[in-house]
Structure 1
Amino acid sequence: MSKLKSTLGVVAIAFITLTAVSCKDANKNEAPTPMVNQMHQETMTDSEAMAINSSQDSKAEVILKDYFNLKNALVGDDNAKAKDLGMALTQSLKSFDVSSYSDTKQSELKNIIIDATEHAEHISESDIAHQREHFKILSKDITDMVAITGTNKKLYEQFCPMYDGGSAWLSMEEDIKNPYYGSQMLNCGKVQREIN
Structure 2
Amino acid sequence: MSKLKLVFGVVAIAFVTLTVVSCKDAKTESSTNSEIGTEEDHSKMNHDNSDGHHDVDKKEMTMSGNGNSQTVLNDYFILKDALVADDNAKAKGLGATLATTLGKLDISKYTDTQKADLKDIIEDAVEHAEHISESDIAHQREHFKVLSKDITDMVAITGTQNTLYQQFCPMYDGGSAWLSMSEDIKNPYYGSKMLKCGKVQKEIN
Which bin holds the TM-score, normalised by the shorter protein? 0.7 to 0.9
Partner of 1:75: 84
Partner of 1:115: 124
Partner of 1:99: 108
1:50 aligns with 2:60: yes
Partner of 2:34: none
Number of residue equivalences: 151
C-alpha RMSD of the superposition = 1.8
Partner of 1:6: none
Q: Name the SS of the counterpart of 2:179 in structure 1.
A: strand
1:52 is displaced (CA, Å) by 5.4
Q: Deviations over 1:60-100 (max 9, x none)?
A: 01100000000000000000000000000000001112111
Greater per-residue helix proportion: 2
Q: Name the SS of the counterpart of 1:170 in structure 2.
A: strand
Partner of 2:9: none
Do the aligned partners of 2:63 and 2:74 also contact (CA within 8 Å) in 1? Answer: no
Inter-partner Cα distance in structure 2 for 1:167 and 1:54 = 28
1:61 aligns with 2:70: yes
1:161 is displaced (CA, Å) by 0.1
1:111 is displaced (CA, Å) by 0.2
Q: Which has the larger radius of gyration?
A: 2
Partner of 1:149: 158
Query: Larger deviation: 176-185 or 90-99?
Result: 90-99
Inter-partner Cα distance in structure 2 for 1:142 and 1:51 = 21
Do the aligned partners of 2:75 and 2:98 also contact (CA within 8 Å) in 1? Answer: yes
Q: Name the SS of the counterpart of 2:77 in structure 1.
A: helix
Trace 1:1-196 onto structure 2 (pairs within 5 A): 48-51=58-61, 56-57=66-67, 59-196=68-205
Change in CA separation of 1:55 and 1:69 when aligned onto 2, cut-off 3 Å: closer
Inter-partner Cα distance in structure 2 for 1:53 and 1:161 = 30
Q: Name the SS of the counterpart of 2:162 in structure 1.
A: coil
Q: Name the SS of the counterpart of 1:51 in structure 2.
A: helix
Q: Name the SS of the counterpart of 2:100 in structure 1.
A: helix
Do the aligned partners of 1:159 and 1:191 also contact (CA within 8 Å) in 2? Answer: yes
| Deviant stretches of 4+, over 3 Å | 46-49, 52-55
For residue 66 of structure 2, what is the amino acid of its counterpart?
Q
1:55 is displaced (CA, Å) by 5.9
Which TM-score applies when normalising by structure 2? 0.70
Identity %, equivalent residues: 68
Do the aligned partners of 1:94 and 1:113 also contact (CA within 8 Å) in 2? Answer: yes
Name which structure has the greater RCO, CA cutoff 8 Å, separation 6+.
1
Gaps of 5+ in 2: 1-55
1:50 is displaced (CA, Å) by 2.4
